[in-house]
Amino acid sequence: MFHGSCLCGAVKYTINLEQLDDITLCHCHNCQKASGSAFNAVTPVAAEFMQVEDEQGVLKQYESSPGVERNFCGNCGSPVFSFRPALQQYRVRIGSLDDSVNIKPAQHIFYSYRVPWLSINDIAPKYPEGL
């Protein structure tokens, strides 16, 4: 079981799995903008294994592209996860987990959009576009 939250703790979630899937690092411009960083680190979680707590009603959604809802805290602005209704799948932001996980990136997607100032030397496959 894994727990996560936004920076201020108003939005919380529990992942009812013993192990998380591999991490994907996405370098697309939308992920750069949404994360405020060079890339976005996510792991997929089927909706049936995810429980979200938003007692204050501060969780906000933004459809950044068709079929992709980015969810963030309306109080602190932390991006927490995205949701793909057609797949019934969350993409949990690794940085929103309350505990660190020992999982290495499995792949880089939209690598052709990576920022030029960052050196990436891992052995994970690097796809120029999405999968």
What is the tens place of the pLDDT at every residue in 85-96?
999 999 999 999
Residues 6+ apart with CB under 8 A from 102: none
Q: Contact at 8 Å (CB) between 11 and 58?
A: yes
Q: Which fold has domain 2-113?
A: 2.170.150
pTM exceeds 0.95 for this model: no
Residues 6+ apart with CB under 8 A from 117: none
Token readout for 64 is 């950044």
Token readout for 81 is 């996860």
What is the tens place of the pLDDT at every residue in 100-115?
888 889 999 999 999 9
Where in the chain are the domains?
2-113
Q: What is the pLDDT of residue 99?
A: 87
CA atoms within 13 A on the CB side of 97: 20
